[in-house]
Amino acid sequence: MPYTAEISRSNPSCLLFLIDRSGSMEDPFGAGDGKSKADGVADAINRLLQNLVIKCAKSEGVRDYYHVGVIGYGGSTVGPAFGGELAGRDLVPISELAEKPERIEERSRKMDDGAGGLVEQSVKFPVWFDAVARGGTPMCEALSQAERLVSGWTAQHPDSFPPIVINITDGESTDGNPTGAADRIRSLQSADGSPLLFNLHLSSQRAAPVEFPSEESGLPDQHARLLFGMSSPLPDHIRDAARQDGYSVGDGARGFVFNADMVSVIRFLDIGTRPANLR
């Protein structure tokens, strides 16, 4: 059965993020309070990476269950987007990512105090990426680079859980229709199934958020429908974990969200016993 390989330090998996840094991302984000879509992308990627690092963290350090890459695309630039000490690197072990954010901010968060009230806590928020918006949207080239990276990684790790590619964008590709490049990623093969391509659509439209739909009929525009069509169906165990988490997902649910959060996907990744009451 596909998508059943154990994810462990000796048999890690791969997560590759593609982040749209094009000029159109300067437009307002439909789900944000005065924020731009570029701010939305920066928030999304930083939160995804933070949650992934924390997922892999144990008391003694971060376990390398994942190799992680981030490809940025905007204007004439498509390539590894890490800054600082990680600049130029395409895939890095998650433990290295944990040690090398650009900076760590202190933010406050309201937490349940366990007695029916809320308590404000100061939390550390690592920042790897700031908002960037310039030039066109070479999504086809970004997906092609992702295909080469994922293909090389899969050849080196033929028995691993297949890579997951998460594309964060407003869907307005300027170098052609990205469907073909997306298909090529999803048709690569490994012993445990094909790579998964998920899309997080950040739109200027003030339409209701959509999470893991099974069909395109309720989606608000052609960009959303394009990205939905490019997205892989959720593997059974991810779909089951989503249902257990309270998401209403149909049998054909795809790895696509519109103006919503994809951090839940990190929660659904299986690296060991996940308590139902850990939220």
Partner 1 sequence: MRLRVRPLVAPKRGSTPEEYEDARWPVRSGVHRSLRCAVADGATEASFSGLWARLLVEAFRHGRLDAALTALPALQEQWQAAVAGIPLPWYAEEKARLGAFSALLGVTVTGGRWDAVAVGDSCLFHIREGGLLAAFPIERAEDLAAAPHLVSSLPRHNAALPAHLRTACGELRDGDVLYLATDAMAGWLLRRLADGACHNELAALRPAGFPAWLDAQRDAGTIRNDDTTLIRIDAVADTARL
Chain residues in the site for partner 1 (CB under 8 A): 6, 8-10, 50, 53-55, 57-62, 98-99, 104, 111-115, 121, 123-124, 126, 237, 240-241, 244, 270-279
Please, which residue, 217 or 273, has the CB nearer to partner 1?
273
- Cα 169 to Cα 58: distance, rounded to the nearest angstrom: 32
- Per DSSP bridges, beta strands 13-20 and 61-62 are unpaired
CB of 78 to partner 1, least distance (A): 29
Joined tokens for residue 131: 């908002």
Please, which residue, 5 or 185, has the CB nearer to partner 1?
5
- What is the separation of C-alpha 47 from the centre of its chain, rounded to a whole number of angstroms? 9
CB of 194 to partner 1, least distance (A): 22
CB of 271 to partner 1, least distance (A): 7
Please, which residue, 31 or 98, has the CB nearer to partner 1?
98
**CB atoms closer than 10 angstroms to residue 271:** 17
- Cα 192 to Cα 175: distance, rounded to the nearest angstrom: 32
CB of 278 to partner 1, least distance (A): 6
CB of 154 to partner 1, least distance (A): 21
DSSP label at residue 261 = -
Please, which residue, 252 or 272, has the CB nearer to partner 1?
272
- Cα 24 to Cα 169: distance, rounded to the nearest angstrom: 10
Please, which residue, 215 or 240, has the CB nearer to partner 1?
240
Amino acid occupying residue 213: P
Joined tokens for residue 215: 């069909």
